[in-house]
Structure 1
Amino acid sequence: MESSCLEPSLYTIKALFILDNDGNRLLSKYYDPDLYSSMKEQRNFEKNIFNKTHKADNEIAFLEGLTVVYKSSIDLFLYVVGSAQENELMLTSVLSCLFEALTHILRKNVERRSLLENMEGAFLVVDEIIDGGVILESDPQQVLQKVNYKVDDNPLSEQSVAQVLQSAKEQIKWSILK
């Protein structure tokens, strides 16, 4: 084996992407410029991985000289890709961090519609976990704290709308009386 293949590197993540249950891309980041540089190559790679993994119960796959760890949730498939020599546990820790952070941001509803509605938060999470292929964080609580993404636990209810309308009426009334 070549010694250059075994040299340690901080650049452990080659790609990260999320596909829907039809294999369509929802979010993707490729960190290795030599790996699938064109959009067409990326789509073909994603389609190959999806075809190999969407019916499997495994959590790891080896394809085209790469190690792929993946997880499915309702109608989403989350993938983290590293080199063939990469430690699967490192890749899995990134995948778990991504999933847990998304679970919090999407209010435990990790599905296509929720992801599309909160895409900004998803990209913030990905950018806090990985920067240029380097793993920055693998603790979901730290990621959520860093992105400072606040999820409103009390969505707007009928009572709060009524309170806002009543307050607006009172302000209009006072401005007319003045």
Structure 2
Amino acid sequence: MVHTTMEGSLFEPTLYIVKGMCILDNEGNRILAKYYDKNILTTTKEQKSFEKNLFNKTHRANAVIIMLDGLTCVYKSNVDLFFYVMGSSHENELILQSVLNALYESVSILLRRNVEKRVIMENLDSVMLAFDEICDGGVILDSDPTSIVGRAALRTEDVPLGEQTVAQVLQSAKEQLKWSLLK
């Protein structure tokens, strides 16, 4: 897929589709955010200013997409939270929307359909893992909420060796042996 502009110049296809993802509360304050492009929104101050502006433009709107500061932003709100996925101005909105849906559905499954600020704050580690399972450095890794949640749940079960019971250590060893034999 090659994108063109009005001037006719070509944008080379790239795997780096997502510029950032964030979750804001109902006052526009950051709950969690990750930015992947080192050329835009490089400081925390710039990011928070962008987020505040984004929130102000979207918190009363009925749309699901907005162009802001050269970025295509798709968003979804629920109870007291706003979920955002940002891409470049020439990015396919449907791809960004699928990432947004994956993020929202993954969080929803992780939190047992109780998607609200208090519950997210209590389970921030799991939500952060879901972010990492969806996108790495701007490259979309997965958009299937079930597999994202499965991998995020596996990673939250990585208890330090000193805190594991003997049964847990033996089970972990069995799993590792099984996977090494299957390779």
TM-score category (smaller protein): 0.7 to 0.9
C-alpha deviation, 1:150, in angstroms: 9.7
Any gaps of 5 or more consecutive residues in structure 2? 1-6, 157-183
Name the CA shift for 1:58/1:130 in 2 (closer, same or farther; >3 Å).
same
- Per the normalisation by structure 2, the TM-score is 0.79
Q: For residues 122-151 of structure 1, give each alpha carbon's deviation from its aligned partner in whole angstroms, at most 9, with x where no partner exists.
A: 000000000000000001011112223599
1:141 is aligned to 146
CA distance in 2, matches of 1:121, 1:58: 29
CA contact (8 A) 1:68 1:80 kept: yes
Q: Does the residue aligned with 2:24 lie in a helix, a strand or coil?
A: strand
Aligned residues: 150
1:35 is aligned to 40
CA distance in 2, matches of 1:10, 1:150: 25
CA distance in 2, matches of 1:110, 1:57: 20
The equivalent position to 2:26 in structure 1, one of 7, 13, 21, is: 21
Aligned partner letter, 2:102: C
Aligned partner letter, 2:70: G
Q: Does the residue aligned with 2:18 lie in a helix, a strand or coil?
A: coil
Any gaps of 5 or more consecutive residues in structure 1? 152-178
Percent identity reads: 52
Runs of at least 4 residues off by over 6 Å = none
Larger radius of gyration: 1
Matched, 1:3 2:12: no
1:74 is aligned to 79
The equivalent position to 1:115 in structure 2, one of 108, 114, 120, is: 120
Name the CA shift for 1:94/1:81 in 2 (closer, same or farther; >3 Å).
same
CA contact (8 A) 2:126 2:153 kept: no
1:85 is aligned to 90
